[in-house]
Amino acid sequence: MNEYFDKVDQNDRVLGKISRYKAHQLNVRHRAVHIFVQHTSGLWLLQRRSCRKDSDPLKWTTSCSGHVDAGESYIEAAERECREELGIKISQNDLKEIFRCSPCPETGTEFVCAYVAKKQFSNFTPDKSEIEEIDFYSLSELMEKCKKEEQIFSGSFLHLFRYVAPRLVRYSKES
């Protein structure tokens, strides 16, 4: 199955469609989302990417992430990725945008929109083709782990987390 993304200019305006393969092969700007899911217990869900992933296999990253499909909005993609990767239903009302990032080498030439959501869930079904394992961390544990064990995280996660961590602290205090 070939996926298609919106090819975008330096201002994130749609120029046309491009296949996943060409977007990555030619380093063409496109869009992605990252979602930080906080369980109502206060712990943050992280996933370890499947060994079958073409980038950063077996690396830890955000709760879920993915490309924005052609014609799809960032928030629609975030809602879809939570359902597809984690098997949890998060509505657009549950998602709060906390950060936007312009394309750079660390994001794979992607404009990234990061969201946060707090969700009560007891059972969910992570997609085994996408996710090797999941774990939950307090924010302080996660910050410490990023400093001491940088090599276990995806490059895009480390890049985004530098900017997002202070916002996650504020979000935790607000909710």
Would the pTM of this model clear 0.75, i.e. be above it?
yes
Q: How far is CA 84 from CA 88, 127, 152, in A?
A: 8, 7, 24
Q: In the numeric block, which tokens belong to residue 66?
A: 């993915």
The pLDDT value recorded for residue 2 is 85
The pLDDT value recorded for residue 120 is 79
The pLDDT value recorded for residue 124 is 81
Question: Taking every pair of C-alpha atoms in the chain, what is the biggest distance, in angstroms?
Answer: 43
d(C-alpha 26, C-alpha 152), whole Å: 27
Q: How far is CA 169 from CA 23, 54, 99, 160, 166, in A?
A: 34, 31, 13, 14, 5
The pLDDT value recorded for residue 174 is 76
How do strand 14-19 and strand 4-8 relate by DSSP bridges? antiparallel
The pLDDT value recorded for residue 23 is 95
How do strand 44-49 and strand 60-61 relate by DSSP bridges? antiparallel
Q: For the chain, first and last CA: distance in Å?
A: 40
The pLDDT value recorded for residue 77 is 98
d(C-alpha 72, C-alpha 86), whole Å: 20
The pLDDT value recorded for residue 45 is 96
d(C-alpha 168, C-alpha 166), whole Å: 5
d(C-alpha 50, C-alpha 155), whole Å: 15
Burial degree of 71 (CB within 10 A; 0-12, 13-18, 19+): exposed
**Contact call for residues 42 and 172 (beta carbons, < 8 A):** yes
**Which residues does the chain have with pLDDT short of 70?**
1, 175
Kindly list the structural domains of the chain, giving each domain's residue range(s) and its CATH number in brackets, ordered by start.
Answer: 4-174 (3.90.79.10)
The pLDDT value recorded for residue 166 is 95
